[in-house]
Structure formats: structure tokens, C-alpha cells
Amino acid sequence: MLMKYSMPAILCTALLVSCQSNAQNTNLSVEEFQKAIAQKNIQLLDVRTREEYLSGHIKNTFWADWNDRTEFQSRAEALDKKKPIYIYCLSGARSNAAAQWLRKQGYTAYNLNGGINAWERAGKPIEGFRATKQISMQEYLSQIPGNKTVLVDFGAEWCPPCKLMAPIVDSLKSHGSLPFVLVKIDGGAQVEICKKLGVDAFPTFIVYKNGKETWRKQGIIEAKEMVSHL
């Protein structure tokens, strides 16, 4: 009789330990995190504020501020559910919350335990913000011929929707029957011209005809809609 009840109890205990182990595996140590992000077909996400991101971040990182939930959710929609996401913040709290939220949406997400603080303490490499010469309005307008159709693409390397739109824009440009001039602006670095033009989200696309703005839109856009305005 003792064996009859002890085996289910042992199995339940084993299952509990297994579940706890799996939960713990979503919070990775610095070494585990570094090894994981060295693989191909992964996504790396910084969920700190813009100021924190610019102060120093891990190479090849997307950025989406967890504190701005509307922006975060919008950028998360552009992430690939087929690829694991490795997330970090300053000390691990925000990234852990973001990872939990992403897992509920169907993503596979892992958190850097201790955040970028732990990463730096371990002597791991980060990239800092490099001051970029800001282009003037005159320099910006000089790239827009007055006698041609121009598409200006404001994007940033850390922006998931920008990466999703890149092949669409490139395919339109390579299409010979749709003549237009493509101007790409690194909005992550060229913050001054973005302020002057009211570009506050990426990607933002602006079409100019005869030197005048005729259309603009933010976010992920279908190719046929963009073609209709070009």
C-alpha cells in the first residue's frame, strides 16, 4: 500500500522540480546569455529607455522601451515568433517582465539575469553612442530633387519594424517601372532633423513630388499602398 501512494507522490515531485527548472532556464547567467546570442537566427532586445540605450548597449540589439507599453507592443509585433528573443535591461527586472509578457503572446523569450550591469561587471563588450554630425534642413532638402518623386525612409538599426520593411523598400527601388529617388535617414542618429520634421516614430516614410511633401506614414506598410503614393 505504501508503494501505491509513494510513486505518484514521487512523480508529482519530479514534475514540480522539472517545471521549476524550466522556469529558471528562462533567466540566463551572463555566460549563458553570451553563448546564446552568439548563435544565428536569434533576436536581441534592449528594453531600457532611449537614454539608457544610447549610453551603451550590446551589439546588434533592437530597442523597445518597456516603460512605454504602446511603443513596446507596436515594436514587438514586428519581431519573429519563429526566432528566440534574448532580452536585457539595466538590472533584470524590466526585461524579466517583458520576457514574461512576450511568452504570453507566443514568443520564446529569455532574460539576462542581472541585466547589463552584470554584463559589464563580467567585462563583456558594449557599444556606446557615437556622436554623429547632425544634418541641417538645407542638407536634408538638398537630397530631394525638385523634379523627381522621392521616398524618404527614416529608420534605425535598433528598430524591428524598420528591419521588416527594409526588403520591401529595396524591392520597390529595384523595380524598374517605378522610378523614384530613395533617401535613407538614420533617425536613431539624426535626432535633430527628426525633431524639425516631426518624425517621432520609426519607420516613417515621406513622399515628395516636385519638392513638396505629398504623403507620410509610420510603421509597417504594404507595398501596394506605398506604390500607390509613388
What is the bridge-based pairing of β-strands 149-155 and 204-209? antiparallel
Q: Which one, of 122, 113, 2, 132, lies nearest residue 54 by Cα?
A: 132
162 tagged catalytic:
yes
Q: Which residues contact 21 (CB under 8 A, 6 or more apart)?
A: none
Query: At 49, is the secondary structure helix, strand, or coil?
Result: coil
Q: Which of the following is catalytic: 12, 19, 162, 194? A: 162
Provide the terminal-to-terminal Cα distance of the chain, rounded to the nearest Å.
Answer: 80
Q: CB count, 10 Å around CB of 99?
A: 26
Which helix (H) or strand (E) segment holds residue 109: the answer is strand 109-112
* Pairwise CA distance, residues 22 & 217, whole Å: 42
159 tagged catalytic:
yes
* Pairwise CA distance, residues 28 & 34, whole Å: 9
DSSP 128-177: PPPP-PPPPHHHHHTTS-TTSEEEEEEE-TT-HHHHHHHHHHHHHHT-TT
The C-alpha cell of 183 is what?
A: 533617401
CA dihedral 141, 142, 143, 145 (to 10 degrees): 90
Q: Which of the following is catalytic: 12, 89, 159, 194? A: 159
Question: Active-site residues: which are they?
Answer: 159, 162
